[in-house]
A = this chain, B = another copy of it.
Amino acid sequence: MVEFDSPQLNTLFQALADPTRRGMLASLALGEKSIGELAAPCDMSFAGASKHVKVLEDAGLLSRRKAGRSHICTLEAAPLAQAERWLRQWEQFWNQRLDRLEALIERGKEEKQNG
């Protein structure tokens, strides 16, 4: 059966459930960023944004290295890939449903034409 009791997935999905953090990931996809650069567009205190960064780090979604007094963050995509793999388990299921829906629509058209 499908594996669902995974602390990894807990923290991962939890981290992804916040728009501020998803925004940070999107920003990181364009290249490495310091905490300050990640925090700038966030419309909240610096410390607040820094906590979001920590959540992402704890979820394994970013790594950081120190460069002078700045902390440079890099997107770590592996956990995203894991989440995607988990979601893909349902692909067959929802394709079936879509096929059924399509068939239903098709049948509706025919009835309209014939009736």
Chain A residues in the interface with B (C-beta under 8 A): 1-2, 4-6, 9-14, 16-19, 22-23, 25-26, 29, 75, 77-78, 80-81, 83-84, 87-88, 90-91, 93-94, 97
Contact = CB atoms under 8 A, between A and B. Distances in A.
Contact of A18 (B1, B10, B22, B94): B10
Contacts of A19: 4-6, 9-10
Contact of A77 (B10, B12, B84, B93): B93
A11 B19 CA distance: 11
Given A9-B19, A13-B17, A80-B90, 20 more contacts: A4-B22, A4-B23, A4-B26, A5-B22, A5-B23, A9-B16, A10-B18, A11-B17, A13-B13, A13-B14, A14-B14, A14-B17, A29-B90, A29-B93, A75-B90, A77-B90, A77-B97, A81-B91, A84-B88, A87-B87
Contacts of A5: 19, 22-23
A87 B90 contact: no
A88 B91 CA distance: 13
